[in-house]
Amino acid sequence: MSIGLFVFLFVTAVSIDSFGIGCVLGLKKVTIAKRAVLSIACLSGVVFLLSSYFGHLLIAYVSPEVAEKTGASALIFIGIFFLWQFFKKRKPQKEDDSWFKPAEVLNDPVAADVDHSGGIRGKEVFLLGIALSLDSIGAGVSGAMIGMPTLMTSLFITLATFLMLAGGIWSGRHLSEKVESISILPGVLLIIIGLIKLS
């Protein structure tokens, strides 16, 4: 499989959960400015870039074969975790919990609207950005180990996250609730990429 196709699948896997998050926000009529969407996308790209460089540091201490197998296995485990997060029963968030458990925002995106103002703004943008960047940490380290081009992938993740989040918000406002189910794809794609690299 060509590196271009791998990058495409990888970027899609890392960024497509933003589409599902955006759908929920759109369905609940929670507003978020385009500038805030861009900030969140940039944060995801930067987090991926930094974690990729950390992954490259780890490669210096292991053989290329071990690094690739480790990265592929990590992608599979991250994918399984995504699926578990998608299928597990969602619990209502307490107002103050979101600041200390940003990962829970992925299960209940509306929890990012901490002040219940009907919009994501100020510190809430950072909270949502951190939640959406959590998957970029493991993906960045794993991506470096399986040979993903770091800078190009980071730029594509930034662009894809912006488009996915903005598109998800629009879709949530105008389409049915079924579009939210696309959030299952990140886990599936990461597992597929990991299995291909292991084979």
Task: Tell me the per-residue pLDDT of 2-43, one tens digit each, with 9 for 90 and over.
Answer: 677 778 888 888 887 788 778 878 877 888 888 989 999 999
What is the mean pLDDT, run by run of 10 residues, along the chain of 199 residues? 76 81 79 89 92 84 71 73 65 49 59 70 78 79 83 93 89 65 63 69
C-alpha of 151 from chain center: 17
pLDDT of amino acid 11: 87
pLDDT of amino acid 120: 77
Q: Which residues pair with 119 in a beta bridge?
A: 31
Q: How far apart are CA 61 and CA 31, in angstroms?
A: 46
Model confidence over 77-90: pLDDT tens digits? Answer: 767 776 776 676 55
pTM: 0.74
In three-state secondary structure terms, 84 is helix
pLDDT of amino acid 50: 92
CA Rg, the chain, in Å? 16
Q: How far apart are CA 70 and CA 66, in angstroms?
A: 6
pLDDT of amino acid 162: 94
pLDDT of amino acid 155: 94
pLDDT of amino acid 48: 92
